[in-house]
């Protein structure tokens, strides 16, 4: 009898140890997912800031060149075409960078999407198991 109670209690402690190891493993995996989500969001924000800065730079250069175009408009003939082309190029580049920034903002994935999906799976497994 004493041997049976020791085997049963050893089995219970082994089960608890296995359960705790599993819980720590699940927690570790979720923290890694959260860390990856935060890193992805940081990269997205950096890209977005660079694109906004490019858009503002090209817009500023375009405005300056447009002002020069108006000044030069009353001078000789072919300088207008060259200056207008450069101005148009910078304004198009600004519009392209702004469009890309808006597109990236609208199509970015939800924050912590992968972590939330995994937690939802865990909750489903736990509720179906009981």
Quote the percentage of the chain above a pLDDT of 70.
Answer: 87
Length of the chain: 130
H or E element, residue 45: helix 2-72
40 is written with which tokens?
């992805």
Instruction: Please state the rounded mean pLDDT for residues 97-123.
Output: 80
pLDDT of 8: 52
The larger pLDDT score, comparing residue 91 to residue 108, is at 91
* pTM for the model: 0.53
Would you state the structure tokens that stand for residue 52, as one six-digit string? 């906004």
> Which tokens hold the place of 100?
């890309």
pLDDT score of 55:
92
pLDDT, residue 129, reads 59
Contact 106, 10 (CB under 8 A): no
Pair 30, 118: CB distance under 8 Å:
yes
Our CA dihedral for 91, 97, 103, 108, rounded to 10 degrees, sits at -160
- The number of beta carbons lying within 10 Å of the beta carbon of residue 55 is 20
Which sign, positive or negative, has the C-alpha torsion 60, 61, 67, 70? negative
- What pLDDT, on the 0 to 100 scale, is given for residue 1? 46
């Amino acid at each position: 009898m004493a041997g049976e109670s020791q085997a049963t209690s050893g089995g219970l402690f082994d089960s608890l140890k296995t359960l705790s190891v599993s819980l720590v493993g699940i927690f570790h995996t979720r923290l890694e997912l959260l860390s990856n989500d935060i890193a992805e969001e940081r990269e997205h924000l950096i890209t977005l800031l660079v694109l906004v800065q490019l858009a503002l730079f090209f817009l500023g250069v375009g405005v300056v060149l447009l002002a020069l175009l108006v000044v030069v408009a009353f001078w000789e003939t072919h300088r207008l075409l060259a200056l207008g082309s450069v101005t148009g190029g910078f304004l198009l580049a600004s519009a392209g960078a702004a469009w890309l920034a808006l597109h990236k903002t609208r199509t970015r994935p939800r924050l912590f999407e992968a972590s939330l999906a995994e937690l939802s799976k865990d909750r489903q497994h736990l509720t179906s198991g009981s």
